[in-house]
Structure 1
């Protein structure tokens, strides 16, 4: 590190240049991380759960359409009431449903809007990667029939067969007949494709205290139940945009149209993990700078340290993409947060010792950097070995989540040690602060208050 070629310091300059290039490539590959485009695998191929799944799939057959998600287009539901909800005891204090007081399906305009929605769902196109089946439609088809459970169409068939009525009832006569239909009719007799989309009338027609509170259209979509967030979220957006586009043309009693699906709710997990990753970084980044600034009391060192920490984070995430071809899944999102904590540790040790060198009489950057490496280098190296060693044990786990976390922890420690020693200390050798330069105490006019070293035992003991 002390080798000079005139005014140049080739060794630290070489390390800083190399680590800067590594950070740039890490940032490039980290930017290419995307949400999963295929279901995440949590078990290795030799795990018994994989064998059980293969056995069940090859021994007990089920229809192909059972692999595809069902979607509900619902009217009559308002927002959830969380007034008495206790998130720590959800069973004791559950949230309650608020119904839309303006919902009314007994008018001709409302009934026509409902039937029109059924027809438009049959022609809704979906050319997204998340729509499988090769049909380019949102709703699954079988021949000329569509997997749409349109309860009003089934109600019309029931009325024609049992009540000799060709038109839907309106006004006060609507709810009593609808309730009879819900209790007596069998979907097998009146639904369009009852085998593909099971129309449970008690579930999609909600009559509470003699009033129709909610009703739904149930469809079997061309999106797989196991569709990952990366491709499935776009299908959810398509369905939500479709519903929102219908609302302006609907009568006032039908403005509460919403889209619901168990798979759509699961996508919120992926969305929150991705947003949590970036919001966590946005919070941890400034806090890291503040902690480093308070611990070193030198704004220049704090800046160098934050650059090193940011480089470590992007290199670990970039490694996930470049070397392992991971997606931005659960493990990567969690690792992206904990990486910051691991990354700060070694940089803080070096930065603090660099400041402490001033109280030992070292004023130049070279002397302070040498003092730092001589007194803290072995400690940081030992810490890296023990921390990485603790993560090695997870490589022997069966669940892929733990083996992935072991890899991410070890790579975080590796990059943390590398960047703290080569980039951070290289910057300190090249352009590290000398004397009182960058000292916030001096800048604030409170005097030269360097961080004093710990007192020796003979100074404090009698």
Structure 2
């Protein structure tokens, strides 16, 4: 006994007496209850983080620069805001060939074969849609968070059909090319395109045009986009709209421009997009605020799509620039939901595993309660430290149950392994045999996490604090909460044990009845019929 480790003697002697003292043990439970109430209040205040992933601490120069860019200036036309793209001609990407873990895989582009702007009805519908965008009610503008130009008070949209109309109306006034001043505005027709082509003989090679040619809209669009195929450098409309219009070629209708062989006309319009600028700045709102706006846009697009002709009914909305903020909002929500689900599932699994390991429901219940308290304290620590529930916090919370279960499960197993029948002796044996292992394991993990608390990169800093807090709370609640509860409420004898239940089920499956008696040597069945055995013995006697 003298060669025993001093920590073992401490847990068996002074520490055990401290936890079982008739006053101190209730004081310890009161401290634990006060901490639970405090962390519960803070946990109820937790909110999702409106910012994107932060890589450095708040006092880092990079973080200061990002905050200054977001909040240090008054709103202006130069702000980097979220742009909503209303897209035609594209369907959802085909990701069947992509692995779930291959984040670099973008999938296969799927075209909407029904998209076509050549019908007059489709062009008129798109022109009317752009007009409706400019005349939305104040309620819709606020609901969709569309930005107004500070000078013109117009909603800031980039609608290519409006620019085509403006350009072609000016073009038709060129009496040198068009003596009859034809109407070249949208919607296009064969007559309008014929006037445009014959007014630009040096541009179009009419002998190569197929008699089945029908791409009248693409002809006008190409003429506008390339500014009449002049030899000057690309003008402003090309820089603004060229990425919003995707063109494809074929061997039947696509031909090089006579004056610019490097440019093709008669192409097929594969996709088109109308851009709407919002008042939302990147990383300044959470998914709680952002997802209702996304749903508002989905509802608006669906409503407009229902009124469109069939060739434009496949319209959709997205935010492909700036890191795809619409998608990032869903990622944030998914991470938070996954962390929450992970906590719930982890606690349920912890209860099942601990109950089966200790073969006692009450022990498993008290140990699971300890794990839940640790998890609650870690969640409450986030708003207490001035943080919000972001991506990094969600990733950390998905691990909290796995770390919190470590020490209490050792104590629960030590309580179960005791040969004693009363709870106080079992608690004594638990602390004597397992206390040193719990303390040693906690100190080594705490020591390892301390070094990460000095990291510059925020993820390592937060993970170090998270690990230190989780292990610290787990150690504290296990030794001063769970151990006290086991000394007060721990199961005694066979109370809460699963062994009698398992034995009863085993005997029931083997056919044991109420009048059967226990038997050690009954052909492996463990019981026998007392009446039949008595009758057999009596017959043998006589």
Settle same-fold status: TM greater than 0.5: yes
Shift of 1:446: 6.8
- Is 2:151 the partner of 1:143? yes
Shift of 1:443: 1.2
Change (3 A) 1:19 1:54: closer
Instruction: Name the residue aligned to 2:55.
Output: 42
| C-alpha separation in 2, matches of 1:349 and 1:166 | 80
| 40-49 or 285-294, which deviates more | 40-49
Shift of 1:112: 3.4
Q: Deviations over 1:399-423 (max 9, x none)?
A: 2222222222111112111211222
| C-alpha separation in 1, matches of 2:308 and 2:96 | 31
| C-alpha separation in 2, matches of 1:56 and 1:242 | 31
List aligned pairs for 1:174-189, cutoff 5 A. Answer: 174-184=217-227
- Is 2:377 the partner of 1:368? no
List aligned pairs for 1:275-286, cutoff 5 A. Answer: 275-286=337-348
- Is 2:22 the partner of 1:22? no
| 23-32 or 274-283, which deviates more | 23-32
| 203-212 or 428-437, which deviates more | 203-212
| C-alpha separation in 2, matches of 1:53 and 1:161 | 44
| C-alpha separation in 2, matches of 1:412 and 1:245 | 49
List aligned pairs for 1:156-171, cutoff 5 A. Answer: 156-163=165-172, 164-170=183-189
Q: Is the 8 A contact 1:297 1:441 kept in 2?
A: yes
| C-alpha separation in 1, matches of 2:443 and 2:389 | 28
- Of 500, 508, 532, 1:442 maps to 500
| C-alpha separation in 1, matches of 2:461 and 2:19 | 45
* Number of aligned positions between the proteins: 424
- Of 475, 485, 489, 1:427 maps to 485
Change (3 A) 1:154 1:355: same
**Unpaired segments of 5 or more residues in structure 2?**
1-15, 173-182, 191-213, 230-235, 250-266, 507-542
- Of 390, 401, 407, 2:448 maps to 390
| C-alpha separation in 2, matches of 1:404 and 1:446 | 50
Q: Is the 8 A contact 1:2 1:366 kept in 2?
A: no
User: What is the Cα-based RMSD across aligned positions, in Å?
Assistant: 3.5
Give the secondary structure class of the aligned counterpart of 2:247. strand
With structure 1 as the length reference, what TM-score do the two structures score?
Answer: 0.81
- Of 357, 370, 375, 1:308 maps to 370
Change (3 A) 1:117 1:281: farther
| C-alpha separation in 2, matches of 1:45 and 1:252 | 52
Instruction: Name the residue aligned to 1:453.
Output: none
- Of 330, 355, 360, 1:293 maps to 355
| C-alpha separation in 2, matches of 1:23 and 1:126 | 47
Whose radius of gyration is greater, 1 or 2?
A: 2
Q: Deviations over 1:378-431 (max 9, x none)?
A: 322222221111111012211222222222211111211121122222221121
Give the secondary structure class of the aligned counterpart of 2:271. strand
Q: Deviations over 1:299-327 (max 9, x none)?
A: 21111111111111111110111x21210
| C-alpha separation in 2, matches of 1:78 and 1:204 | 15
- Is 2:46 the partner of 1:33? yes
- Of 240, 248, 252, 1:200 maps to 240
- Is 2:344 the partner of 1:336? no
**Unpaired segments of 5 or more residues in structure 1?**
187-193, 449-462
| C-alpha separation in 1, matches of 2:477 and 2:127 | 64
List aligned pairs for 1:221-240, cutoff 5 A. Answer: 221-230=278-287, 231-240=289-298
| C-alpha separation in 2, matches of 1:78 and 1:301 | 55
| C-alpha separation in 1, matches of 2:245 and 2:317 | 15
Q: Is the 8 A contact 1:126 1:136 kept in 2?
A: no
| C-alpha separation in 1, matches of 2:463 and 2:99 | 33
Q: Deviations over 1:228-275 (max 9, x none)?
A: 434443433332332233222223332222111122223233122112
Q: Deviations over 1:343-394 (max 9, x none)?
A: 0001101000000113xxx110111012112222232222222111111101
| C-alpha separation in 1, matches of 2:371 and 2:159 | 56
- Is 2:387 the partner of 1:326? yes
| C-alpha separation in 2, matches of 1:276 and 1:55 | 32
| C-alpha separation in 2, matches of 1:121 and 1:237 | 18
Instruction: Name the residue aligned to 1:351.
Output: 412
Give the secondary structure class of the aligned counterpart of 1:80. coil
Instruction: Name the residue aligned to 1:103.
Output: 115
